[in-house]
Amino acid sequence: MPSKDTAEKAEQGAFQYAFAWGENALPPSLLATLIAAQHLRPFQVFPMLFPPVLLFSSYLNVNGYKKDAAGLTAAWSAAYFVLASRRRQAHFVSRFGARGLVRGATLGLCAANVVGCGVVYAFGRREGEEKV
């Protein structure tokens, strides 16, 4: 039976992994790429509003606004997740085609962004803030 110390270390490791994911600038730009790949042909206006915002979030992250970028990424990833999960796929076979795999990867990345960036936005500190 694992001890409490082992369980606490595993929980802390998951928290640190989520925190590192949320502070990274790559996930929002990767999500923007996947969204653009799905909605450029045929061009769909509403879903194509998401990539510029996600790229701006990545830009904010690179310039040092990690907490603000994480909040922006989490919010827009959750909004796209809701938008994309409302669409239904017609056939079971279409889920395992190229478009289905890209859609699944996009939804998975959205979920990871919501968790990781949500942790950073909730528990992260801005550079000028002091501990209270």
Q: What's the pLDDT score for residue 109?
A: 97
Q: How far is it, in rounded angstroms, from Cα 86 to Cα 52?
A: 22
Q: Are 112 and 31 within 8 A, CB to CB?
A: no
Q: What's the pLDDT score for residue 90?
A: 65
pTM for the predicted model, two decimal places: 0.84
Q: Are 32 and 55 within 8 A, CB to CB?
A: yes
pLDDT tens-digit map of 17-39:
999 999 999 999 999 999 999 99
In the structure encoding, which two tokens stand for residue 32, read together? 């923007």
Q: What's the pLDDT score for residue 94?
A: 66
- Give percent helix, percent strand, percent coil of the chain, each to the nearest 5: 75, 0, 25
In the structure encoding, which two tokens stand for residue 6, read together? 């082992």
Q: Is residue 78 part of a domain?
A: yes
Q: What's the pLDDT score for residue 6?
A: 77
Q: Is the dihedral of CA 72, 73, 78, 81 positive or negative?
A: positive
Q: What's the pLDDT score for residue 73?
A: 98
Q: What's the pLDDT score for residue 8?
A: 73
Domain tally, the chain:
1
Q: What's the pLDDT score for residue 65?
A: 94
Q: Whole domain around residue 64: which residue ranges?
A: 10-123
DSSP 125: -
Q: Is residue 102 part of a domain?
A: yes
pLDDT in tens, the chain (132 residues): 566 777 777 767 888 999 999 999 999 999 999 999 999 989 999 999 999 999 999 999 999 999 999 999 999 999 999 999 987 766 666 677 888 889 999 999 999 999 999 999 999 988 776 666
Q: How far is it, in rounded angstroms, from Cα 24 to Cα 119?
A: 12
Spatial CA neighbour of 89 closest among 73, 102, 108, 74:
102
Q: What's the pLDDT score for residue 12?
A: 76
